[in-house]
Structure 1
């Protein structure tokens, strides 16, 4: 018998992608979808591409409407999910795609988000390598509370963690520039996200150390073994509806060669179903990840600058959000990790 699933924030981009994946999952049945301003409308009014879920109507996002399900996925703005999760039954698997339960440090939360601190949950990045070996998926087995990582965080963390864990780079000198699609900013109307503003242009945002994904990335690299992490991160909004191309560089430790780097990444990700290291001289394209739960990584050593260059590509709505949520839920429930997920993208 399928597990009953509720999705909160079902009218948004992340909620819609969750529903698209869940609609094809053999062990899940979506029975409740919720929203705030769109409550009362048919789901198809907000997500017309989800034809197989045409029978569902959006109801108000309340703990009462979410309770009683086996699994609850939350795709809500930061500060909203934390208000609800405390009221959900302990036996329900709750997967939060928002930021409310990602950070361990209350000081980091206060500095980058503000408002009430709700505490950290099991972190939903199964492939994140831990210092001394092991992966984050071990922390997900049997848990009832999962915090899904930020999309930019996933691209940067997966791109650099193996080098940090192996001691190949100095984590106090990291620079990352990410090309990001506007769907990562959500579905709410914002003038700078209008097509007439985006097309034929590119613009930086969250400049000067102000982006909220910085402390989360630093947290992950400390898990991988870094003692001090200095990250200069600049995201750049580009005219592609979805996707992230992250160019992350770090100063190499003395004596490190390109073969050392490739060996570390192949050891870290060689058996991973959704994180793929490309052959030497090849670099990923965002287009090859659209619709797939994959992160593709290309590696280079800039000998003149003495830096590692890790280029990672992913779909911010799949591996960056909804795919990671379902992958982590599979692990927590003891299901095959890849169930209901694909590594095949959509082309052209």
Structure 2
């Protein structure tokens, strides 16, 4: 391996790809060696994202033009449905490369579930079998040796960070989970869509993909693994007129004899050594502005007015901990680096 980890970014012209570049550019052990964006091939990165123009970056290329054999790690920021065949091609050209996928193409362990929710058969089922789910705090032992790391979606990241320790300890009923989720418009990608136009999304709040959002089976998959049984969650996302940020409010039924205080204490203990997880003091309310631009997670726990129930709330930046930051965190784990390298910047406030 080179003195620095030579990385490539597939889909560098999208929001997640650009945020990966922003973070990786200041990582002391990373060299950005290749950037792809087929629709912008030949352009300077600064022409697509002016805030990155001060960086000395390679020109954008079509992915077919990259020499993958020269890279140590490849980050995939492509839309779902496009990553599977390209990942197979990259690994064919360089079997030793580490693939860190930020798309949805390898998150679902069951290829038939993928086909059901994404409308086509999985194009690389053999690779799916070796993919490791990249929720760093909960799977780092597997991530360490993985060749293909499937980073979670932004909504699952927030939900699972809040609930997995509680489900594993049987402190809440995994069969009775209601998740109210809200995210900024960058979660919809950079492509032109009518519902994300300023005049359409500004000054309003709207649910979308009601009862059929593709992150629901991903949440159910991981909650089910923790619970040891299949589960179905009630999950509704909403579009908030802000660029970044995500907040999930999880309504849970407490186990017998369990209090909201017990939930909070469990989270405090489980995440005590985690650099990016901040379980707030009793009464502390997670807010998206407290994590904006950072890789941090805020979690708060509150008793419900309904006896036997509680609320667990989590806030993240959807582009950082919900995507590019977590991907870089996974790279650090995979290459044996300090987990916080390149990721310790505090939230941008106000």
Between the aligned partners of 1:19 and 1:27, the Cα distance in structure 2 is 13
Pairwise CA distance, 1:168: 0.8
Out of 12, 15, 29, the position equivalent to 1:13 is 15
Partner of 2:283: 281
SS of 1:280 mapped into structure 2: coil
What do the CA deviations read for 1:274-333 (whole angstroms, capped 9, x no partner)? 111000001111011111001100101215242221110000000000000000011011
Between the aligned partners of 1:307 and 1:161, the Cα distance in structure 2 is 17
Pairwise CA distance, 1:64: 4.4
What pairs with 1:1-348 in structure 2 (closer than 5 Å)? Answer: 1-62=3-64, 64-88=66-90, 89-117=94-122, 118=124, 119-120=128-129, 121-128=131-138, 136-208=139-211, 210-342=212-344, 344-348=346-350
SS of 1:86 mapped into structure 2: helix
Between the aligned partners of 1:6 and 1:343, the Cα distance in structure 2 is 23
SS of 2:89 mapped into structure 1: coil
Contact 2:98/2:146 (<8 A) preserved: yes
SS of 1:247 mapped into structure 2: strand
SS of 1:155 mapped into structure 2: helix
Between the aligned partners of 1:61 and 1:16, the Cα distance in structure 2 is 16
Structure 2: segments with no counterpart, 5+ residues:
none
Pairwise CA distance, 1:224: 2.1
SS of 2:42 mapped into structure 1: coil
Contact 1:62/1:84 (<8 A) preserved: no
Between the aligned partners of 1:62 and 1:282, the Cα distance in structure 2 is 49
Pairwise CA distance, 1:127: 1.4
Between the aligned partners of 1:347 and 1:260, the Cα distance in structure 2 is 31
Q: What is the root-mean-square deviation in Å for CA atoms of aligned residues?
A: 1.4
Moved more, 257-266 or 63-72: 63-72
Between the aligned partners of 1:99 and 1:67, the Cα distance in structure 2 is 25
What do the CA deviations read for 1:112-154 (whole angstroms, capped 9, x no partner)? 11223132511111113xxxxxxx1111112221111000010
Between the aligned partners of 1:95 and 1:328, the Cα distance in structure 2 is 8
Pairwise CA distance, 1:220: 1.3
TM-score with structure 1 setting the length: 0.94
Contact 2:47/2:53 (<8 A) preserved: no
SS of 1:219 mapped into structure 2: helix
Pairwise CA distance, 1:228: 3.3
Pairwise CA distance, 1:55: 4.2
Structure 1: segments with no counterpart, 5+ residues:
129-135
Provide runs of 4+ in structure 1 moved above 6 Å: none
What do the CA deviations read for 1:190-218 (whole angstroms, capped 9, x no partner)? 0110011111101100102x100011111
Between the aligned partners of 1:274 and 1:224, the Cα distance in structure 2 is 21
SS of 2:136 mapped into structure 1: coil
Between the aligned partners of 1:211 and 1:62, the Cα distance in structure 2 is 32
Between the aligned partners of 1:329 and 1:323, the Cα distance in structure 2 is 10
What do the CA deviations read for 1:213-266 (whole angstroms, capped 9, x no partner)? 011111111232342322010001011101101001111112111232122111
Pairwise CA distance, 1:63: 7.3
Contact 1:171/1:226 (<8 A) preserved: no
Q: Assess, with a 3 A threshold, how the Cα gap between structure 1 residues 47 and 256 changes in structure 2: closer, same or farther.
A: same
Higher helix share: 2
